[in-house]
Amino acid sequence: MTVKVLGILNLTPDSFSDGGRWIDTDLALSRAVQMVDQGADAIDIGGESTRPGSREISVQEELDRIIPCLERLSNSIEVPISIDTRRCEVAQAAVDLGATIINDTAALRDDPELVDLVVEKDVDVVLMHRQGTPETMQNNPGYSDVIAEISEFFRERLDFFVSKGGQRDKVILDPGIGFGKRLEDNFRIAASLRKFKDLGTRLMLGASRKACTGALDGSPPDDRLPGSLAFVSMAQRCGVEWVRVHDVDETVRFLKVLQAIREEVVDQEDQA
């Protein structure tokens, strides 16, 4: 199985890695087209930063950031568009403009109306685990068993979604690297991804440029590609369906080589 790549397009002034870089609509469109040319399987557009310590913005501000880009994007690329939002009104506007994936870092908890929209529109939805809120989530997070607790959270969210009329095959689960996690939690999640496969749904891993990818060498966000690719490698090894990344070109090329090696290993095992 080849891992699919979700290219990140932050239309925000304050995202931790590329805040302010793609606010201009022409630049954003150019970047989206570039990521598709580099091999992105979908583009994830976000108008609200959910980095640690970030403060909530108004719905109107989020709409003002994403709509100009979305109005032009569907005619510029041929891959699916994902909207990274926690709010029904924003998701509705994005779906009306062509988005077919809703990427919710709150797993349908922050806006009670969002689940109804997902079910009605029959779109894919990413349900991410997050401890706390973006503003507070890195203030002393803790777990007794991080894998067991995330797994239980996923089961509850899946049951909730199905109870509202949703289909399990529309769900992509994301364990939420860096969202209310200690460094050791992030590493344990990456090492234990196969356990989440027991839930019978698709998985996504989003570790790109996050603090855990640079914690061992102190590298800044724009110099965390090696650490980011280490997480991508674990995702591929464990059968994760999606990785969400900033560095699309490097990730796609890395995965092609990794897949070729994996296929050779399988061939040798079959011949043994």
What domains appear along the chain, each with residue ranges and CATH number? 4-271 (3.20.20.20)
The one catalytic residue among 55, 244, 253, 262? 244
Average pLDDT over residues 222-235: 97
The one catalytic residue among 31, 86, 210, 224? 210
CA distance 166 to 152: 19
217 C-beta neighbours (distance < 10 Å), count:
10
Tracing tokens 């894919």 back to the chain, one arrives at: 124
Helix 25-37 with 59-73: angle, nearest 10 deg: 60
Tracing tokens 């570790």 back to the chain, one arrives at: 207
Quick one: which of 104, 175, 172 has its CA closest to 143?
A: 175
Give yes or no: 210 in active site: yes
pLDDT of residue 270: 74
| 44 sits in which H/E element | strand 42-46
Indicate the range of 12-26, 162-176, 223-237 predicted with least confidence.
12-26
pLDDT of residue 51: 72
Average pLDDT over residues 265-272: 74
37 C-beta neighbours (distance < 10 Å), count:
11
Tracing tokens 């979908």 back to the chain, one arrives at: 42
Give yes or no: 170 in active site: no
User: Which residues have CB under 8 Å from 31's CB, separation 6+?
Assistant: 9, 22
| 245 sits in which H/E element | strand 242-245
